[in-house]
């Protein structure tokens, strides 16, 4: 099969597959919702399916961006959903205790309290993983399980509702015709990219995730770096917690951010960051999170029965993951979309595939089909 160099370069770009999947998912909606791509201006606000996808996807993008850095160091953070709940519960219960719930100072203080709690959770996770050497999946399981209990304690097992105009803005308000949360997300993504790529943090994170022992011998203080990424991840989850509780004007210790950790991990993987650590892509993660959110929207628009929508979602996720596996593409499409040079092979490809074959027990995955 002959391919032009430009097409090859395009299909080999690390964002090609995530974006392709996103576009396909968006197009699937058109037969069911013909005005899917149209955006209307009402009361000075922009409305439309695309706007809603970004709006409803905002908390997921935030959580997934934080998760990306954790995964890049070779870790994982299962506690983000609980952190979402704790932050929302603390902030809302503080606001609801105020005489004037709309007083700016009170709202800021409340958000500050919530975010500090999130940072404390992150420090705890980082401490367990980096200092105590506990496996990340176990270390973060602690807050995942206990954190919801803490959130329940804060809210006394109730759903706390608040009535605060300024607080409503973060997750439900509009600014310059767009949902305010889009600006929050844009700011967090911009800060993350700057923090990782304008400094050497990204390189050191990738090095720690790519080869921990070599990083130690090269003098990287990986303990500090790991604590930093867990704190950052929890902070992102905290902001997402503010957004979710603000959007509903309520804190629900039980359901806020429920299973968001799984969606976030999926978004990271779809975005092309390997769960084994190493190379990461913030842009890929943002697209990955949009893919997940679009999928959720699509499930509603095409009217998949509620009982089966998880199965449907799982099926699509499997297909997406298969599409990203070079081995699978080679089998199905032939050589047209060959190996991604450089990428750790998205999802399907075992680690051993890159350099030398594993000790000849497993067939090393074939990189390309001739």
Is 1 near other proteins (CB under 8 A)? Answer: no
Number of residues that bind other proteins (CB under 8 A): 43
Q: Which helix (H) or strand (E) holds 210?
A: helix 201-210
Question: What is the rounded CA–CA span in Å between residue 169 and residue 76?
Answer: 31
Instruction: Work out which of 34, 198, 259, 307 binds other proteins, going by CB under 8 A.
Output: 198
CB of 233 to other proteins, least distance (A): 17
**Binding window for other proteins (CB under 8 A); candidates: 53-61, 85-93, 105-113, 203-211:** 203-211
User: Residue 46's Cα: distance from chain center in Å?
Assistant: 25
Structure tokens at 48: 């439309």
Is 352 near other proteins (CB under 8 A)? Answer: yes
For residues 52 to 91, the per-residue mask of contacts with other proteins, x marking binding by CB under 8 A and - elsewhere, is ----------------------------------------
With left for phi above 0 and alpha for psi between -120 and 50, is residue 362 left, alpha or beta? Answer: beta
Is 219 near other proteins (CB under 8 A)? Answer: yes
91-110 binders of other proteins (CB under 8 A): none
3-class state of residue 40 by DSSP:
strand
Instruction: Work out which of 161, 221, 300, 302 binds other proteins, going by CB under 8 A.
Output: 221
Question: What is the rounded CA–CA span in Å between residue 145 and residue 234?
Answer: 15
Instruction: Work out which of 52, 199, 254, 255 binds other proteins, going by CB under 8 A.
Output: 199
CB of 20 to other proteins, least distance (A): 20
Largest CA distance in the chain: 72
DSSP string spanning 246-305? HHHTEEETTTTTTTHHHHHHHHHHHTT--TT-S---HHHHHHHHHHHHHHHHHHHHTT--
Instruction: Quote the DSSP letter at residue 38.
Output: -
Instruction: Work out which of 1, 99, 132, 355 binds other proteins, going by CB under 8 A.
Output: 355
Is 200 near other proteins (CB under 8 A)? Answer: yes
**Binding window for other proteins (CB under 8 A); candidates: 31-39, 74-82, 249-257, 336-344:** 336-344
Structure tokens at 13: 């770009």
Check if the beta carbon of residue 331 is closer than 8 Å to that of residue 369.
yes
For residues 265 to 294, the per-residue mask of contacts with other proteins, x marking binding by CB under 8 A and - elsewhere, is -------------xx---------------
Angle (nearest 5°) at CA 146 between 141 and 147: 95
Structure tokens at 23: 């576009």
Chain residues that interact with other proteins, rule: CB under 8 A:
12, 198-201, 203-204, 206-207, 210-211, 213-221, 225, 278-279, 341-342, 344, 352, 354-364, 366-370
């Amino acid at each position: 099969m002959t391919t032009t160099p430009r097409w090859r370069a395009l299909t080999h770009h690390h964002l090609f597959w995530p974006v392709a999947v996103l576009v396909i998912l968006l197009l699937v909606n058109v037969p069911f919702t013909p005005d899917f791509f149209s955006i209307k201006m009402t009361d000075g606000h922009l409305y439309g399916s695309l706007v809603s996808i970004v709006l409803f996807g905002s908390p997921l993008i935030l959580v997934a961006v934080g998760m990306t850095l954790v995964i890049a160091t070779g870790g994982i953070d299962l506690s983000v959903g609980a952190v979402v709940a704790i932050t929302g519960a603390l902030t809302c219960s503080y606001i609801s205790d105020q005489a004037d719930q709309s007083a700016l100072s009170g709202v800021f203080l409340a958000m500050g309290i919530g975010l500090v709690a999130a940072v404390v959770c992150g420090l705890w996770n980082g401490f367990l993983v980096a200092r105590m050497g506990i496996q990340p999946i176990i270390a973060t399981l602690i807050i995942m399980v206990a954190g919801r209990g803490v959130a329940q304690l804060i809210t006394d097992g109730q759903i706390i509702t608040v009535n605060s105009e300024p607080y409503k803005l973060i997750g439900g308000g509009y600014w310059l015709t767009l949902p305010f949360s889009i600006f929050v997300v844009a700011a967090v993504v911009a800060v993350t990219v700057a923090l990782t790529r304008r400094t050497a943090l990204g390189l050191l994170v990738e090095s720690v995730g790519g080869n921990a022992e070599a990083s130690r011998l090269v003098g990287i203080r990986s303990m500090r770096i790991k604590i930093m990424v867990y704190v950052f991840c929890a902070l992102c989850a905290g902001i997402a917690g503010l957004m979710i509780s603000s959007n509903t004007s309520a804190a629900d210790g039980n359901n806020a951010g429920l299973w968001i950790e799984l969606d976030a991990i999926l978004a990271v993987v779809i975005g092309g960051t390997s769960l084994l650590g190493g190379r990461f892509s913030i842009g890929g993660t943002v697209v990955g999170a949009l893919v997940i959110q679009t999928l959720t929207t699509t499930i509603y628009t095409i009217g998949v029965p509620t009982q089966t929508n998880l199965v449907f979602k799982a099926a699509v996720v499997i297909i997406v993951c298969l599409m990203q596996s070079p081995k699978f593409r080679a089998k199905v499409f032939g050589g047209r979309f060959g190996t991604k040079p450089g990428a750790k092979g998205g999802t399907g490809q075992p680690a051993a595939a890159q350099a030398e074959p594993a000790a000849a027990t497993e067939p090393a995955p074939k990189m390309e089909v001739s």
